Structure 1
Amino acid sequence: MSVVTLLGVNVANNPAKFTDKYLFEITFECLEPLEKDLEWKLTYVGSAQSDSHDQELDSLLVGPIPVGVNKFAFEANPPDTKLIPDDELLGVTVILLTCAYDGREFVRVGYYVNNEYESEELQNDPPAKPIIEKIKRNVLAEKPRVTRFNIKWDSEATAPAEFPPEQPEADLVADEEEYGAEELAEEEEAELAEEAAAVGEATGADKDAAMEGVEGENGAVDEEELSDDGSVDIEGESEDDLEEEELDGDAMETDEMEVDKPAVPAAGAPSGAPAPQADAMVH
């Protein structure tokens, strides 16, 4: 079980100009006191062909973290256009919002971003050299892809097993408080219906066998030492007892974000959890 659970992310300034800063309102819950800060990062994928064009737009240390539900604002700089190929400036790309504890990434939220000219005239007849100031971006916040990783927190008891045991399909159903859990349940229900139709008149034993082998993915990144500079203090009293809350989330997929350019879904913004919150203050 994760000590920190992401409850919601709201893209505050969306849509916006390509050159505007990114602004996120992030809500998460902490179940027990933490010895270190959380490190949040925003990465812009500059090209679907090579990760050499990826840019870390900004990073932020948040802490100390009180027990309970916390909320803070994360502002990140726009990407440097000089590091992006001209033929990759327009169209669909990806941004990745990640959080790590003690150098170990435990959650990653991927968003598709559609970059296009503001005017229909330029959209129909784009110039050979992109006009940056006339490009607008739209973060497709309604369909985030959320990937979670089991990591070690402050105690050895929280360390994931070296060889995780097989997990039944029920383990893939996220808690109601997890960001994106609601749509995951709908997707699994549809998948089960398809599997049932494929099984047809098979025996009960055959049906059980057909549903075996569905496993959740666990993982962790390499450890790094975090700096104490640039911390964000979260003020607010700790809460021992929290009511179970339901988050209106969007799609959660446990696969990591693909950078191939997909069809563009409708834009929107996932909502946060309506729980007692401690606001963050940036020094």
Structure 2
Amino acid sequence: MAKVQLCNITVMDNPSPFLNPFQFEITFECIEELKEDLEWKMIYVGSAESEEYDQVLDSVFVGPIPEGKHMFVFQADPPNVSRIPENDALGVTVVLLTCSYRAQEFIRVGYFINNEYSDPELKENPPIPTQFDKVTRNILASEPRVTRFKINWEEPTSVNGQEPGPSENTDAIVAESSMQLNNESGAAVPSFNENSNSWATMECS
């Protein structure tokens, strides 16, 4: 049984200019004390074509953590625009939040993002290169994609005096639906609701 349950994520400052920091208010619950830190990461998917363009915007360590509910705001600077392919600068992409314990990822939450110009003229005739200072970022906060992984939460036991390495996340349990940029047929991602700014809520079990 997982010792950490994700209760709620609130997407803050959304929609916002592309160059503003990302901000997520994260609430989680520990069913018992964790002696080691949780590592949270925020990852921006720069292109659906290759993981080469993924950017880790920030990583933070939280802990040690007593039993009970906890909340913190995870803030990170926007991605380095020079590393985003020009063809993927506008339109729909993804931001991921992951959490690991003892180097074992046990939960991943993905949000679709729509990047576009707010100026109708620029939207109709987008300039090249992209003028990121005029782009608006809108996170589809109402439909997070949550994937949970089974990990070893217990204290590692030594074998012949050596500590074992972290176990691999070979048993993925999809809580809602796993993050996909495209479906198997290659169709585009679902249409984006530009007016969406609601909370992404996941009930604790």
Aligned-residue offset at 1:271: 5.2
Shift in alpha-carbon separation, 1:142–1:271, aligned structure 2, 3 A: closer
Aligned-residue offset at 1:219: 3.4
User: For the Cα contact (< 8 Å) 2:6–2:202, is it kept in 1?
Assistant: no
Aligned-residue offset at 1:273: 8.2
The equivalences for 1:92-171 within 5 A come to: 92-155=92-155
User: For the Cα contact (< 8 Å) 1:111–1:140, is it kept in 2?
Assistant: yes
Aligned-residue offset at 1:155: 4.2
Counterpart CA distance in 1 for 2:191 and 2:200 is 20
The number of residue pairs the alignment matches comes to 184
Matched letter for residue 268 of structure 1: N
1:258 equivalenced with 2:187 (yes/no): no
Write out per-residue CA displacement over residues 115-157 of structure 1, whole angstroms, 9 at most, x where no aligned residue.
000111111111122111000100101000000011111347x
Counterpart CA distance in 1 for 2:25 and 2:47 is 26
User: For the Cα contact (< 8 Å) 2:6–2:203, is it kept in 1?
Assistant: no
Write out per-residue CA displacement over residues 216-249 of structure 1, whole angstroms, 9 at most, x where no aligned residue.
x9339xxxxxxxxxxxxxxxxxxxxxxxxxxxxx
Counterpart CA distance in 2 for 1:120 and 1:271 is 29
The equivalences for 1:73-88 within 5 A come to: 73-88=73-88
Shift in alpha-carbon separation, 1:273–1:125, aligned structure 2, 3 A: closer
Matched letter for residue 66 of structure 2: P
User: For the Cα contact (< 8 Å) 2:144–2:200, is it kept in 1?
Assistant: no
Determine the structure 2 residue equivalent to 1:193. none
Report which of the two has the higher share of strand. 2
Determine the structure 2 residue equivalent to 1:269. 198
Write out per-residue CA displacement over residues 243-280 of structure 1, whole angstroms, 9 at most, x where no aligned residue.
xxxxxxxxx5243x1123512343233256899xxxxx
Counterpart CA distance in 1 for 2:48 and 2:203 is 37
Structure 1 stretches of 5 or more lacking a match? 157-161, 163-216, 221-251, 276-283
Determine the structure 2 residue equivalent to 1:219. 172
Counterpart CA distance in 2 for 1:264 and 1:145 is 15
| TM-score between both structures, scaled by the size of structure 1 | 0.61
Shift in alpha-carbon separation, 1:75–1:18, aligned structure 2, 3 A: same
User: For the Cα contact (< 8 Å) 1:148–1:254, is it kept in 2?
Assistant: no
| 3-state DSSP of counterpart to 1:23 | strand
| 3-state DSSP of counterpart to 2:87 | helix
Structure 2 stretches of 5 or more lacking a match? 157-166, 183-187
Determine the structure 2 residue equivalent to 1:196. none
Counterpart CA distance in 1 for 2:96 and 2:203 is 24
Counterpart CA distance in 1 for 2:172 and 2:60 is 23
Matched letter for residue 56 of structure 1: V
Matched letter for residue 32 of structure 1: E
| 3-state DSSP of counterpart to 1:122 | helix
User: For the Cα contact (< 8 Å) 2:107–2:146, is it kept in 1?
Assistant: yes
The equivalences for 1:55-94 within 5 A come to: 55-94=55-94
Counterpart CA distance in 2 for 1:94 and 1:119 is 23
Shift in alpha-carbon separation, 1:105–1:274, aligned structure 2, 3 A: closer
Counterpart CA distance in 2 for 1:91 and 1:22 is 18
Determine the structure 2 residue equivalent to 1:236. none
| 3-state DSSP of counterpart to 1:106 | strand
| 3-state DSSP of counterpart to 1:121 | helix
Counterpart CA distance in 1 for 2:181 and 2:200 is 25
Counterpart CA distance in 2 for 1:273 and 1:146 is 9
